[in-house]
Amino acid sequence: MAPKMVTSFRRSLSFPNPPSHNASKPRKSLHFRSTSLPCRSHPIISHLQDHISELQYSWSVDAHTSAWLCDGLRRLKSVHDSLDDLLHLPQTRDSLRGGGGEYSNLIKNLLEYFLRFVDVHGTFQTLLLRLKEEHSAAQITVRRKDSTGLAAHSKNLCKVAKEIGKLSSNFVSVGKSAAPPRKPYDDEAELVGVIGGVVEATVTVSNALFGGISSSAAFRKQPSCMGLSFGRKTKNAKVEGGIREFQELDLGNLRKKGEEEVKNASKKMHEMEDRILEIEECGERAFRSFINTRVSLLNVLTQ
């Protein structure tokens, strides 16, 4: 009886877009002329390397805005989609299976890495939902000028943000295993190298995402959570590595605030909620791509 394939979130097989600096050039038709995988000239390998390079370049500017994080997640999704397409090619599967015993352990390590990406980002989605709910509840207390209620929800926000920050510890050992010695025209080593680039890019974006949220003043306890002071001013200091839009909100003592001040505070919190929603949506799309990639890699070994 033939083994069953693992299912995944299916997409239509499509080639990734070329780098932005070549966007004006017409797309060329792609033709596969043999069953071998000459990785240096293979179109999908080349496109995948370009996607990774563009991601690394875009992140060379440490912007730390929600738009910057969302752009990183979108680019990361594109990288994983390209890798998923590559893993569906018979040439790729033959190359990975034909790499010999030295590659079998490496593939198993890659399976573990991608499983960790799925698990960690699944947990992140759950925590982000809690963060969003607590933030919405905090908005209500601001409109009601309920200092006590706001303090309680702020404390919960700090706890959730701290848990998000701890997610990065899951990636400490990811990518530490060295690739097999590379030989001239070693197709398998070239293929494993580009997969390693995907792993590295995933760790980089993930750590920036988790650290950006947990380091933001809006979700830290200093000296009162969310940067909300009750009866005294707090310094409008930017926390290193925090998301720019999630920096300190100084609402002061809500009971002494005028209607206009409370209205402005509510507006800022609503804008912050929109940014959280954008991150949630981009993170969800990337998460589904991680699942697809991991399933495709698993099918390489099980079919």
Report domain extents, the chain: 62-175+188-302
CA-angle at 151, arms to 148 and 153, nearest 5°? 110
Q: Is 221 helix (H, G, I), strand (E, B) or coil?
A: strand
In whole angstroms, what is the distance from residue 172 CA to residue 192 CA?
20
At residue 207, the pLDDT reads: 93
Burial (CB count within 10 angstroms: exposed 0-12, middle 13-18, buried 19+), residue 213: buried
Omega of the bond leading into 223 within 30 degrees of 0 (cis): yes
Residue with tokens 């002494």: 256
In whole angstroms, what is the distance from residue 287 CA to residue 122 CA?
7
Task: Give the pair of three-digit tokens for residue 218.
Answer: 């809006």
At residue 240, the pLDDT reads: 56
At residue 27, the pLDDT reads: 39
Q: Cβ(300)–Cβ(87) under 8 Å?
A: yes
The whole-model pTM stands at 0.77
In the chain, which residues have pLDDT < 70?
A: 1-42, 60-62, 98-103, 176-188, 220-241, 248-255, 303
At residue 11, the pLDDT reads: 52
Residue 143 CB contacts under 8 Å (≥ 6 apart), including other chains: 262, 266
Residue with tokens 């680039």: 197
Q: Cβ(172)–Cβ(299) under 8 Å?
A: no
